[in-house]
Each structure stands twice: as C-alpha cells, then as structure tokens.
Amino acid sequence: MNDVKIVDASGLSCPQPVILTRKAIQEGKFPIRVLVDTGTSRDNVSRMAQSQGCKVTVEAKGDGFVLTLTK
C-alpha cells in the first residue's frame, strides 16, 4: 500500500488547515490523513475535500479529529 500523506493542521486556525489540505490533494497522493483539533476545521476541510471529489471519513482522536481522504 502507498505511504499515507499526513497533513498535521493541529493548532492552526482556518483557513490554514484548508489551504494545506488543498495543496496535498493537488499533489494527488492518496490516502491523505489530516489532523485537526477543532470542529470548525473538521467541517471546513471536509467540505472542501468533498468539493474536490474526495471521500472523507472522520474519526475522533483524543482532543481532535483525524480525517482520511481518498479519491
């Protein structure tokens, strides 16, 4: 299996997590795992990823979220 691309956006406020995730999507290496620590970042990244044609699964981890993006 391919290496998983990790985007660690923990502690960053929007729009930073969305920008980092969009850049990772444009690189085209999937799956992408995005780490965020707020519900707002989770929702914004999910919405943007879905608009780019990605399937998004969300998992609560500790005090944050792990979003896994696949094509």
| DSSP-derived 3-state class of residue 43 | helix
Contact 25, 69 (CB under 8 A): yes
User: Residue 47 is part of which domain span?
Assistant: 5-70
User: Quick one: tokens of 12?
Assistant: 């960053």
pLDDT at res. 3 = 84
Task: Indicate which CATH number applies to the domain containing 48.
Answer: 3.30.110.40
- Segment-wise mean pLDDT, segments of 10 residues, the chain, 71 residues: 86 95 96 97 98 98 96 94
pLDDT at res. 2 = 55
